[in-house]
């Protein structure tokens, strides 16, 4: 919004995309994240937690998880980007469960896979 000088998120994203990037991710904290690209708009919700302890660092965890996910992929397409957002939202949710990034130190691939599966199930429509 600030970069585009536009309050409406979709209009702001369109303005930023006209500046040159092919893909734009807008983090919205507890409201999730949005992906804007040539395939359209994708919304990844924040994982709904029962107990939120401290949101400090959740955005950094989200960004690190997204870039780490994309870096290991051989091909980055619309599906990969969307799965990356859901993975990043899942990682960020663990961060919020503790103070600072303490909860991330206990995170295992198995726990992340379980949470990602749960988040994916929450947004799936079949």
CATH number (domain holding residue 96): 3.40.1190.20
> Total structural domains in the chain?
1
15: in domain: yes
1: in domain: no
Query: What is the reported pLDDT for 110?
Result: 95
Query: What is the reported pLDDT for 49?
Result: 94
102: in domain: yes
44: in domain: yes
Query: What is the reported pLDDT for 101?
Result: 76
State the DSSP H helix or E strand holding residue 110, giving kind and residue range, or none if neither.
Answer: helix 109-123
94: in domain: yes
Residues 3 and 107: their CA atoms lie apart, in Å, by 34
Q: Which two tokens stand for residue 12?
A: 């702001």
Residue 54 in contact with residue 101, Cβ under 8 Å? no
Running DSSP on this structure, what letter comes out for residue 76? Answer: -
Residues 91 and 113: their CA atoms lie apart, in Å, by 10
2: in domain: no
Distances (CA, A) of 91 to 62, 66, 95, 100, 125: 6, 9, 7, 13, 23
Query: What is the reported pLDDT for 111?
Result: 94
Residue 91 in contact with residue 65, Cβ under 8 Å? yes
Residue numbers of the domain that contains 26: 9-123
47: in domain: yes
> What's the average pLDDT block by block, 10 residues per block, for the chain (126 residues)?
84 94 94 93 95 90 96 93 96 90 86 95 85
35: in domain: yes
């Amino acid at each position: 919004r600030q970069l585009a000088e536009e309050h409406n998120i979709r209009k702001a994203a369109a303005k930023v995309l006209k500046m040159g990037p092919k893909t734009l991710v807008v983090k919205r904290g507890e409201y999730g994240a949005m992906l804007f690209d040539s395939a359209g708009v994708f919304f990844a919700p924040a994982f709904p937690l029962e107990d939120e302890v401290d949101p400090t660092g959740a955005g950094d965890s989200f960004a690190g998880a997204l870039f780490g996910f994309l870096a290991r992929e051989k091909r980055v397409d619309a599906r990969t980007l969307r799965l990356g957002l859901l993975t990043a939202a899942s990682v960020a949710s663990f961060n919020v469960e503790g103070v600072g990034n303490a909860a991330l130190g206990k995170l295992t691939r198995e726990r992340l896979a379980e949470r990602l599966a749960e988040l994916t199930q929450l947004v799936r429509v079949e």
